[in-house]
Structure 1
Amino acid sequence: MTSPISIPISISVKRLPHGAGLPLPAYATHGAAGMDVVAAEDLTLAPGDRHAVATGFAIAIPEGFEVQVRPRSGLALKHGITCLNTPGTIDSDYRGEVKVILANLGAAPFEVVRGERIAQLVPAPVLRAALAEVATLDDTARGVGGFGSTGQ
């Protein structure tokens, strides 16, 4: 089976002064969907706490794309560390520092260490919608059934 051709988009990266010496986002393996991101600061995240962790870089995403910020599965499983607002979206017109909103859902304090991987970035195309206000919507089998309405 052949794999689909992947044409990379070009994303400019600006290293910030407090990101000196840190690796820029990078794919860990050939098949990785996300680029690993490291922390640019040290801090202790107590159980139940959250913090926007500095990464030490800013990016310029081409129009028509976003970059999604996603948690690392190992941190989630081993320590209960996740990213809030997941997946977070970095818009193409944002030029500030990329920060990762980490939350500690675990039972013990977690040490965020400068240079350690905390999240991953996944570029994605963006579709824009044109909304049309109407008086009624078409009927479906589900109708207005909300949360949990399709399961038993």
Structure 2
Amino acid sequence: MKPVVRLKRLPHAGDLPLPSYATGGAAGADLRAALAEPMVIEPGSRAAVPSGFAFEVPEGFEIQVRPRSGLALKHGVTVLNTPGTVDSDYRGEVMAILVNLGNEPFAIRHGDRIAQIVLAPVQLASFTEAAELGLTARGTGGFGSTGV
């Protein structure tokens, strides 16, 4: 049985469709821009782009806001804090924090698909302080320690 995510349409999203999956095998549902007027993200700049929806994420889940591969490849536009997390207790408008890593200004219009959202289960942990941690082959090797 599929989990149900309730959403509230905000006034500036009156004509937008609900988030939807583009194909039967898609993991992410398209999130669209809810804009009163077009917005431009200049190269090297970022912007929070409103979706026009607030979500009621079921307890034990999160919604991950992820980039759209076509925007990333063709325009260098991606979600800055990938994946962005919408917690189950957040009830405000979901926005996509987009960054333009491309060389040209990127225009966004009302209704444009700006990101995708994925419902994912969350496992909460208990954190316990320890004087020592178990040994592994990698040990404390960090960034780049396993090779290129």
Task: State whether TM-score is above 0.5.
Answer: yes
- Corresponding residue of 1:29: 23
- Corresponding residue of 2:69: 73
Q: Partner of 1:77: helix, strand, or coil?
A: helix
The aligned runs of 1:81-120 (5 Å cut-off) are: 81-120=77-116
- Corresponding residue of 1:14: 8
2:136 to 127, 133, 140: 140
Amino acid at match of 2:86: I
Runs of 4+ in structure 1 over 4 Å off: none
**Cα displacement (A) at 1:129:** 0.6
Q: Percent identity?
A: 62
TM-score normalised to structure 2 length: 0.97
**Contiguous gaps of at least 5 residues in structure 2:** none
Task: Give CA-to-partner distance per residue, 1:74-126, whole Å, 9 cap, x none.
Answer: 00000000001100100000000010001000000000111010000000000
Aligned residues: 146
**Cα displacement (A) at 1:24:** 1.3
Structure 2: distance between partners of 1:16 and 1:138: 50
TM-score normalised to structure 1 length: 0.94
1:39 aligns with 2:24: no
Q: Partner of 2:140: helix, strand, or coil?
A: coil
Structure 1: distance between partners of 2:18 and 2:100: 24
CA RMSD of aligned residues (A): 0.7
**Contiguous gaps of at least 5 residues in structure 1:** 1-6
